Amino acid sequence: MRDGRLVFDADMHVQEPPGIWVEHLDPGLRSRVTTGTVAAAMPMADGRALVDIPPSPQRREMRPTQMADRYGELARRGFDTSALLEAMDVEGIDVGALFPSYGLYVPWADHLAPELAIGLARAYNRWLATLCDSSGARLVHVALTPLHDPAAAAAEARRSVEEDGARAVMVRPNPVSGRPVSHPDHARFFAELVDLDVPMILHEGTGAIVDAVGSNRFDTWAGRHAASHPMEQMLALGGLIFDGVFEQNPRLRVGLFESGTGWLRWWLDRLDEHHEFLASELGGVRLKPSEYAARQCVISTDSEDSFVGETVEAFGADRVVWASDFPHPEAPWPHAIDEFLVACRDQGVDRADEATILGATPLALYGLDPTTLGRGPDLGRLATFS
C-alpha cells in the first residue's frame, strides 16, 4: 500500500526449484525428462536442451550464487512464498501476479513433442498452485499454456483455472511449429479463454529455442535481447488484429508484457495506416487496429519507462499496468515503486492515473474482486473491457 492506494505488481517472477519439472510431471512422462543444465535448474527433454543462452562473462545469469549476491537471504530461501511476501512488504506491494523464470524457456522449445510441452507446463502450473495457496490471496497464479497442441493447451488452461485457481494464462508471442499466435488452429484456445474469462498474457524471454526476432541477426546477447522483446510483441499484436482474432473474440483480454510501452503508439499508427490503404485484403477487420487494441489490450510499464506519460496520454491509464520484474537481477527492488512514481511525476502522470495503473487496471485485467485482496480507499478509475 502506498499513500492509501492498492499496489498490484502485474508481473513478478518466481525462481523455480530444479526438481519441479520431474516431481510434478505426469508419471508417464518422467522417464523422458532429466535436470542438468544452467546450474541444474533447466531440465532436458528427450535428451535435448530446452534453452539457447550462450555463456557470456558480461551477462548476469539468474544462477543461485548471483541471485544470493543480489537478494541475500530471500534468494537463499529459494524465493518461496514467505520470501516473496516479505519482499513485497519491503517494497510496499499488496498483490503480485507470478510469471516464470526458467519456465520462460522450458515448455516452449519448438522441438518438443506436444505431450511433453504441455506436460512440462502442467508440472509448473501444479507447483505454482502450491506456492500461491499459502499467500493469503496476495500471489496471483498465471498458468503456462504452450501452443504445440492447441487443443491440449485449451484443456490445460481450463484445468489450471478450475483446479489450480489460475487467473490468467501466459503464451509466448513467438510462432510455434511455424504457426504464429494468431493462427486459425488456435481458435479453440481463444474461445476457451473467453469462456473462462481469463486473459492471455504475451511474455517474451530471450534465449528460448523458438523462432525469435534477432536470433539470426545478432551474435551478441545485447542485440538479440533488444530486438526480441518489443518486436515479437509487435508482430503478435499485428497478427491478432489483421488475422481477425480480436474481431472474432471481442471479449478476449490480452496483456503485452515486459517490452516497454514506447513502441505501441507508433506501431498502432502504422497498422492503422495499412488498414486504411490496404482495406481490400482485410475485409473481416472492421475496426481500426488502434480501436481493437484500445478495446482489448493492456500493456505493462516498468520503473524506468521513459514513455509511460505518452502512453497514458494516448491510450489511458486504464490500459497500462506496472511491473517490477522482481526478482530478476535487473529489477530495481526495493525502490521500484519509488522510481516509478518519480517517472510518473516527471512525465506528467497525475495521482489519479498512478492509482489506476497500480490498482484498478491490473484488477480488471486479471478479473479480480478488490474486496478479496484488501481494497484500498483509492483504486483509481476502474478499467472496463467489452
Could you tell me how many helices (H) and strands (E) the chain has, helices first?
15, 10
Residue 220 lies in a domain: yes
Q: Is the pLDDT of residue 377 over 50?
A: no
pLDDT of residue 35: 82
261 close to 320: Cβ distance less than 8 angstroms: yes
The CATH code of the domain that includes 193 is 3.20.20.140
Mean of the pLDDT values across residues 118-125?
98
Residues 140-155 have pLDDT tens digits of: 999 999 999 999 999 9
pLDDT of residue 353: 97
Residue 382 lies in a domain: no
Greater confidence (38 vs 202) lies with: 202
Cell 502450473 identifies what position?
A: 125
Mean of the pLDDT values across residues 298-317?
97
Cell 519448438 identifies what position?
A: 110
Residues 251-307 have pLDDT tens digits of: 999 999 999 999 999 999 999 999 999 988 988 999 999 999 999 999 999 999 999
* Residue 57: band (very low, low, confident or very high) from pLDDT cuts 50, 70, 90: very low
165 close to 143: Cβ distance less than 8 angstroms: no
Residue 381 lies in a domain: no
pLDDT of residue 379: 52
pLDDT of residue 262: 97
Residue 87 lies in a domain: yes
Q: What is the mean pLDDT of the chain?
A: 92
Task: Produce one character per residue of 239-248: b if its CB has 16 or more CB atoms within 10 Å, e if not.
Answer: bbbbbbbbbe
Residue-level length of the chain: 386
pLDDT of residue 69: 85
Q: Is the pLDDT of residue 32 over 90?
A: yes
% the chain with pLDDT above 90: 82
User: How would you class 278 by CB atoms within 10 Å of its CB: exposed for 0-12, middle for 13-18, buried for 19 or more?
Assistant: exposed
The count of structural domains within the chain is 1
Q: For residue 212, give the 3-state DSSP assignment.
A: coil
Q: Is the pLDDT of residue 230 over 80?
A: yes
Residue 1 lies in a domain: no
Residue 378 lies in a domain: no
Residue 141, amino acid: H
Mean of the pLDDT values across residues 92-118?
97
Residue 78 lies in a domain: yes
Residue 191 lies in a domain: yes
C-alpha 175: how far from chain center: 16
Mean of the pLDDT values across residues 176-191?
97
Q: Whole domain around residue 122: which residue ranges?
A: 8-53+61-372
Q: Is the pLDDT of residue 23 over 70?
A: yes
pLDDT of residue 68: 84
pTM for the model: 0.94
In angstroms, the CA 307 to CA 265 distance is: 10
* Residue 42: band (very low, low, confident or very high) from pLDDT cuts 50, 70, 90: confident
Mean of the pLDDT values across residues 223-251?
97
